[in-house]
Amino acid sequence: MKTILLEQIKEYLKESDMVASLANISSCIMLNYKNLNWSGFYLVKNKELILGPFQGKPACTHISFEKGVCGKTYREKKAQRVDDVLAIQDHIACDADSRSELCVPILVNEECVAEIDLDSFLPNNFTEEQEKEMIQAAQYISEAWIKYHWPN
């Protein structure tokens, strides 16, 4: 899969500073995908997910590995595309307006070190194509993580 968005993400990953790179990527995704109210990253730190660079409304700062879509993404090490977050029993409502979510793990040596998290105010907003695109983006980020020795 080769898209303009993925090409832009690869360009931002030429930056060796993790925060700068991920901040630009979150902005790029926010501008390229329709109907988002949040685009960003959660980083694995101190046995939980900690808020990283993002675009959108204020978000949850700490997320347990045991809760919500992000926690499930961490535990299963696979993408979660949720058409209706209100149907998820342990959904964490950082933003009451969110209705659908796409969360993709960033894996380094088969260990989840971070996640791409996207929220939409519309149900059924995310497509299979977008899921595949974000899985590829996560792979590119993983490669940069190794290349630049980004922290866990």
Q: For 2-14, what is each residue's pLDDT tens digit? A: 799 999 999 999 9
Structural domains counted in the chain: 1
Residue 53's domain spans which residues?
4-148
Query: 63 Cβ partners below 8 Å, 6+ apart?
Result: 42, 48, 49, 70, 71, 92
Residue-wise pLDDT tens digits, 17-69: 999 999 999 999 999 999 999 999 999 999 999 999 999 999 999 999 999 99
Please check the confidence at residue 152 and state whether its pLDDT lies above 60. no
Residue-wise pLDDT tens digits, 57-94: 999 999 999 999 999 999 999 999 999 987 877 777 67
CATH of the domain at 93: 3.30.450.40
Please report, rounded to a whole number, the percentage of residues in the chain having pLDDT higher than 90.
Answer: 88
Q: How far apart are CA 122 and CA 43, in angstroms?
A: 25
